[in-house]
Chains A and B, each alone.
Chain A
Amino acid sequence: GAVVSQHPSWVICKSGTSVKIECRSLDFQATTMFWYRQFPKQSLMLMATSNEGSKATYEQGVEKDKFLINHASLTLSTLTVTSAHPEDSSFYICSAHRRHRNQPQHFGDGTRLSIL
């Protein structure tokens, strides 16, 4: 079964709205979560690395004030797209690394964001 839950799976909203996406690790602690963005028919681009209890590390070109990341607990990271515009429409995917385990990351099912 799924070990990483991402919610919502699909959201449609008006331009100017802020949208929060949750990424939860189920039954394990994740000190590090990653947020990726995927444009249609393209690969995943890393947006930021989210570390529990500290500020996220953003990749070059990603606006910190636009994409707010909070990793308040060992099982939850949130990505808030503030004042979303049509160009923010995309597929957002999170992944989580299981603490104390040398294993590949587990991915959520993604969130399809459509801004009208």
Chain B
Amino acid sequence: QKEVEQNSGPLSVPEGAIASLNCTYSDRGSQSFFWYRQYSGKSPELIMSIYSNGDKEDGRFTAQLNKASQYVSLLIRDSQPSDSATYLCAVRVGNNRKLIWGLGTSLAVNP
């Protein structure tokens, strides 16, 4: 059973702090890794994708991938109240386009 695991939270951070979200996956054949943000009552939207070991930065967001340890993380610097949402980790295994999704981590950024 291929699995993607995330802490459900809620993760609460003060405004301006760094929020750190973690995701572990079970299948070593996993090739592509994604972080989607989902506001309450809305559909998911992609914020980061990462394919190789190391860090990938995009504005206030940094994705980190460690395939040896089978985890991927998302750092949000200078967290804003507008970052309050559920963050979904998704992993693609092999060459098909089906994703395995985690249950999501709820983030609350307090003003």
Q: Is the pairing of A and B real?
A: no
Residues of B within 8 A of A (CB): none
Residues of A within 8 A of B (CB): none
